[in-house]
Structure 1
Amino acid sequence: MPKVSHKGQQMPESPIRKLVPFAEGAKKKGHKVYHLNIGQPDIKTPEVALNAIKENTIKILEYSHSAGFETYRTKLAAYYQKHGINVNIPDIIITTGGSEALLFALGSTLDAGDEIIIPEPFYANYNGFSVASGVTVVPVISTIDEGFALPPVADFEKLITPKTKAILICNPGNPTGYLYTQDEINQLAELVKKHDLFLIADEVYREFTYDGDKHYSVMNVPGLEEHAIMIDSVSKRYSMCGARIGCIVSKNKEVMATAMKFAQARLSPPTFAQIASEAALDTPQSYFDEVISEYKERRDTLITELSKIEGVKVATPKGAFYCIAKLPVDNADKFAQWLLENFDSNGETVMVAPAAGFYSTPGVGLDEIRIAYVLKKEDLIRSVQILKEAIEQYNK
């Protein structure tokens, strides 16, 4: 019998989606499941984006340019410039989601067997993209006790080998919600310049910052033009996860010419989704003001409620819409499955994402979960009540 590839065997399962059959089982029993497990916003997609699809009169659904519509890239460059990020049309390639942008970035900067340093916990799919690219992830651990701040630069430096080609960060972070300070970004910038590495920054949650804290992009660092690569997406910004439109952005001409070869090989990003994404750039600021205000209230509600549970430790997120909570349970994977298979509170339960899947170091994060606060406030309060009851019962 023919065998699947070694690479295929190495591909990790999604730590979030592997629990789906158990959630489906709970729903078949008639239980209501509160989904704290996935970053699918419940915020409405901007009308202007949906109307651009509804009102479209396309007669032939053609390929677009491999780099995406020029009209879209023109408007996108203007959007970045408005946010103080000085990029132009040649610095942008539109991709099929932020996922493809990451694959293009890895494919353009690392060869099979090369190493990429990533602060963990990190977005679980970085593991999958690295396996798909034949690249080795070298983790540097950030901790809940430090609020998941950037580990000391010395911790990065001692991991650099001749095979190290890049450092990858998510800012603000999924799964931690940590927002890197300008000083932390500058420390990384100095490090990559010193060792001649790339600094790849996944900045898809740029708009989601709280408490007056500002997002600082790698594209804003003077002198980092040849090292910096930004990954972006419309998924979270406009609550358009299904559009699958992102982009790779860099001032490094060789990187962009290389990424363009990958873009040509997959022909073009989706046409209808680009039409919606281009229109979404006309979303008024009032939309974001309301969304950020709503998420800040949700964050505050969630952190307040979680801190009432004895034995739970949580780091207050400064951005995005996730947090990591450390629970007084032996194993969060087992607990998450038990919640769906064996527990309910008046016919209701919760689905969480065990955090071990966001680490690549074995045995780390076993008692941690990631919570996405993408539910309305009363649902978050009820979810945490259920969690409290469940922890007490599980530990009996």
Structure 2
Amino acid sequence: MPSVSHKGLSMPESPIRKLVPYAEEAKKKGAKVIHLNIGQPDIKTPQVALDAVKNNTLEVIAYSRTEGSEEYREKLAAYYAKNNIHVTAKDIIVTTGGSEALAFTMGSIADNDDEIIIPEPFYANYNGFATATGVKVVPVTSHIDSNFALPAIEEFEKLITPRTKAILICNPGNPTGYLYTKEEIKKLAAIVKKHDLFLIADEVYREFTYDGKEHYSILQEEGLEENAIIIDSVSKRYSMCGARIGCLVTKNKDVIKTALKFAQARLSPPTYAQIASEAALETPQSYFDDVKEEYVGRRNVLIEELEKIEGIKVGKPQGAFYCIAELPITDADDFAQWLLEDFRLNNETVMVAPAAGFYASEGLGKNQIRIAYVLDKENLKRAVNILKEALKSYIA
């Protein structure tokens, strides 16, 4: 019998999606499943984006340019300028989601067995992209006790080898909600320049920062032009996850030239989704102001309710819409599956994402879960109450 590849066998399962069959089975049996597991906002997509697709008069859905339409990239450059990030359309490659932007980046800067240092816990799919491109993830651990702040620069220096190509951060962070300070970005900038590395920043949650804190992009840092690569996406910014439009942004011409070859191999990003994404750039600031206010309220409710549960430790997010909670258990994977298979409160249960899959270090995160607060406040309160009662039953 023919066998699948070693790469395929080593490809990690998504900690976010691997429990879906259990959730679907629970629903078939009549249970209501409250989803805390996935960052699919319930916020409405801006009407201007929906109308651009509905009212479009295309007669042929043709290929777009490999790097994305020039008009869209020009408007993206104007969007970045408003955020004090000064790039041109030539510094941007439009991709099929931020995922493809990251895959193109890894393929462009690293060869098989080259290394990328990533503070953990990190977005679980970084492991998958690294496996697919033959890159080795080298984790540097951040801790819930320090609210997942940037580890000491000395910890990064210890891990740098001749095979190290980049440091990758998510800012604000998924799964922690941590927002890197300007001073932390400057520390990272100094170390990548010292060791001639790339600094990759996944900045898809840029708009969602809280408590008066502001996002500082790596492309705002002077002198980092050849080292900095931004990964971006419309998915969360405009609640357009299904559009699958992202982009790679860098002033490094060699990276753009190389990434474009990977982009040519997949032909072009989707035409209709670019139309929607271009229109979404007209979304007024009031949309983001309202969304931020809603997320702050949800975060506050979630943290307040979680902290009432004995034995739980929780990080306080400063951005995005996720948090990591540490539970008084030993195996969050087993607990998450048990919730879906065996536990009901008024015929309801919750679906969470076990956090071990957000780490690269073996054994870490086994007693943690990631919660996405993408539900309204009442649903969040109900979900946390279910979690509280479930823990009582599970631990007993």
The TM tier, using the shorter chain, reads over 0.9
Aligned to 2:242: 242
1:300-319 aligned within 5 A = 300-319=300-319
State whether structure 2 residue 209 is matched by structure 1 residue 209: yes
| SS at 2:62 equivalent | coil
Where does residue 36 of structure 1 map in the other structure?
36
**Deviation readout 1:33-74 (Å, 9 max, x if unpaired):** 110000000000000000000000001111111010100001
Displacement of 1:150 in angstroms is 0.3
CA deviation vs aligned residue, 1:312-362 (integer Å, no higher than 9, x gap): 000100000000000011211110001010100010110000000000111
**Structure 1 residues 178-220: Cα deviation after superposition (integer angstroms, max 9, x where no partner):** 0000000000000000000000000000000000100000000
Structure-to-structure mapping, 1:77-226, within 5 angstroms: 77-226=77-226
Partner of 2:9: 9
Structure 2 match to 1:274:
274
Measured after TM superposition, the shift of residue 263 of structure 1 is: 1.0
Moved over 3 A (4+): none
Q: Which residue in 2 is equivalent to 1:25?
A: 25
Q: Match of 1:190, as an amino acid?
A: A
- 2:5 and 2:275 map into 1 onto residues whose CA distance is 37
**d(CA) in 2 for partners of 1:308, 1:88:** 49
SS at match of 2:273: helix
SS at match of 2:169: strand
**What are the residue-to-residue correspondences of 1:285-364 with 2, within 5 Å?**
285-364=285-364
**Separation in 2, partners of 1:99, 1:58:** 28
Aligned equivalents of 2:60 and 2:16: distance in 1?
A: 38
Q: What is the letter of the counterpart of residue 277 of structure 1?
A: S
Mapped to 1, the partners of 2:22 and 2:361 lie a distance apart of 26
Aligned to 2:233: 233
**Following TM superposition, by how much is the alpha carbon of 1:373 offset from its aligned partner in structure 2, in angstroms?**
0.1
Q: Paired residue for 2:390? A: 390
Rounded to whole Å, the distance in 2 between the matches of 1:337 and 1:8 is 24
Amino acid at match of 1:313: K
CA separation in 2, counterparts of 1:63 and 1:107? 23
Per the alignment, in what secondary structure is the counterpart of residue 158 of structure 1? helix
The C-alpha deviation readout for 1:114-145, integer Å capped at 9, x for no partner, is: 00000000000000000000000000000000
**Structure-2 separation of matches of 1:75 and 1:204:** 17
CA distance in 1: counterparts of 2:241 and 2:8, whole angstroms: 26
Return the alpha-carbon distance in structure 1 between the equivalents of residues 25 and 262 of structure 2: 41
Give the secondary-structure state (helix, strand or coil) at the position aligned to 2:248: strand
Aligned to 1:74: 74
**How far apart in 1 are the matches of 2:268 and 2:151?**
38
1:284 aligned partner, one-letter code: P
1:17 match: secondary structure: coil
Query: Deviation at 1:29?
Result: 1.6
Task: Using the TM superposition, give the Cα deviation of residue 265 of structure 1 relative to its aligned residue in structure 2, in angstroms.
Answer: 1.1
SS in structure 1 opposite 2:19? helix
Cα distance in 1 for partners of 2:343, 2:133 equals 40
Q: Secondary structure at the match of 1:324?
A: strand
- Give the Cα–Cα distance (whole angstroms) in 1 for the partners of residues 181 and 16 of structure 2: 29
Q: Could you tell me which amino acid in structure 2 is paired with residue 92 of structure 1?
A: I
Residues 1:257 and 2:253 are matched in the alignment: no
Counterpart residue type for residue 79 of structure 2: Y
- Measured in 1, the distance between the counterparts of 2:367 and 2:10 equals 24
- Cα distance between partner residues in 2 of 1:284 and 1:48: 10
Secondary structure of 1:329's counterpart equals: coil
In the TM superposition, what is the alpha-carbon distance from 1:16 to its structure 2 partner? 1.1
Alpha-carbon distance between aligned partners in 2 of 1:165 and 1:369, rounded to the nearest angstrom: 30
Which amino acid is the alignment partner of residue 298 of structure 1?
Answer: R
For 2:7, give the aligned amino acid.
K
Say if 2:40 is the partner of 1:51.
Answer: no
- Listed one character per residue, the Cα deviations across residues 150-201 of structure 1 (whole Å, up to 9, x for unaligned) are 0000000000000001110000000000000000000000000000000000
Aligned residue type for 2:114: D
CA–CA separation in structure 2 for the residues paired with 1:284 and 1:107: 36
> Which amino acid in the other structure matches residue 120 of structure 1?
E
Q: Structure 1 CA distance, aligned partners of 2:335 and 2:209?
A: 31
- Distance in 2 of aligned mates of 1:11 and 1:348: 33
3-state DSSP class of the match of 1:247?
strand
The alignment of Structure 1 onto Structure 2 pairs a total of residues equal to 396
Instruction: Name the CA distance, whole Å, in 2 between partners of 1:68 and 1:275.
Output: 11
- The residue type paired with residue 205 of structure 2 is Y
Give, in angstroms, the shift of residue 75 of structure 1: 0.6
Which residue of the partner structure matches residue 61 of structure 2?
Answer: 61
Inter-partner Cα distance in structure 1 for 2:27 and 2:52 = 36
Amino acid at match of 1:100: E
AA aligned to 1:353 is A
DSSP-derived class of the 2:357 partner: helix
Q: Distance in 2 between matches of 1:116 and 1:267?
A: 27
Q: Distance in 2 between matches of 1:156 and 1:32?
A: 44
What are structure 1's unaligned runs of at least 5 residues?
none
